[in-house]
A and B are shown apart, each in its own frame.
Chain A
Amino acid sequence: AQTVTQSQPEMSVQEAETVTLSCTYDTSESNYYLFWYKQPPSRQMILVIRQEAYKQQNATENRFSVNFQKAAKSFSLKISDSQLGDTAMYFCAFMKNFGNEKLTFGTGTRLTIIP
C-alpha cells in the first residue's frame, strides 16, 4: 500500500515571498502520478500541479513548481510570489499509473499568506 506524508501541518509566509511545502511518499510502484491539490475555504478541490514519475523534468505551472526526487521519494511544492489567494489547505496525492485509480492523500498543510 502507498503512503503519503506531509510533515508540515501549518505554514505561513508573507505575501510575495516564496514558500516550499514538503511531501514524501512510499511505494513499490515504478510508474505513478503525483499531484498537489489546493482546498480553499470553499472546500472545492483544485488541481495545482501534476508530475508523472517517468518524467525526470520537474513540472511547473506559472508560479507553482515541484522538486521531484524519485530516488528519495520526495515531491515538494514551491510557490513563488505568493498571493493572498494562495491561502488554503494543500494536499499531496499519489496515484498508480493505471487510470481510474484511487488517490491516496497526505494529511495536508494549511498555508496562510500574510498581507
Chain B
Amino acid sequence: GAVVSQHPSRVICKSGTSVKIECRSLDFQATTMFWYRQFPKQSLMLMATSNEGSKATYEQGVEKDKFLINHASLTLSTLTVTSAHPEDSSFYICSAFTGFGGPNTEAFFGQGTRLTVV
C-alpha cells in the first residue's frame, strides 16, 4: 500500500527555538496533506490542511504564525513549530489520501513525531 513517511520521529528542543517536521508521500502524489495533533490518551485533532502550491487552511484556534506549513511539492509537506514552548509538546501526525473519493479512498498516516520542548 501507499506509504507516508514522517521525520523525525522524536525531537527535543529548547524553548524559543523552531522545529521542522517533514511529511513525505513516498509512492504517490499528494496535492493535499493533513496535519494532526494528538495529546496523551486523546484523539487526533486536525490542525491544518496543507495544499500543494497554495496557502494552508488552518482550523479554528490554531495559530498559523506559530505552526508554519509549506507544501512545496506533490510529495512533501513541512510543519515548522516556531518559537516553541513547553505547551507545544505533543505528538504530531501527518496524513495523505489516495483514491480521491473513489471506492479505494484511504488515508495513510506518517509514523508521527513526538515533540518535547524543554
**Residues of chain A whose beta carbon lies under 8 Å from any beta carbon of chain B:** 33, 35, 42-45, 47, 50, 52, 91, 95, 97-108, 110
Contacts and interface: CB of A to CB of B under 8 A. Distances in A.
B111 A100 contact: no
A105 B31 contact: no
Given A99-B97, A103-B95, A107-B43, A44 B111 contact: yes
20 contacts: A33-B105, A35-B107, A42-B111, A43-B91, A43-B93, A43-B112, A45-B44, A45-B109, A91-B44, A99-B99, A99-B102, A99-B105, A100-B31, A100-B97, A100-B100, A101-B101, A102-B46, A102-B49, A105-B44, A110-B41
Interface in B54-113: 91, 93, 95, 97, 99-103, 105-107, 109, 111-112
Contacts of A105: 43-45
Interface string B1-35: 00000000000000000000000000000011010
A40 to B, nearest CB: 12
Contacts of B45: 105
A97 to B, nearest CB: 6
Contacts of A44: 109, 111-112
A99 B100 contact: yes
A103 B32 CA distance: 13
Contact of B32 (A33, A47, A100): A100
Contacts of A52: 103
B71 to A, nearest CB: 12
B100 A91 contact: no
A103 B34 contact: yes
Contacts of A104: 46
A91 B43 contact: yes
A99 to B, nearest CB: 3
Contacts of B41: 110
B107 A97 contact: no
A43 B45 CA distance: 15
Contacts of B32: 100
Q: Which of A43, A52, A108 has the most CB of B within 10 A?
A: A43
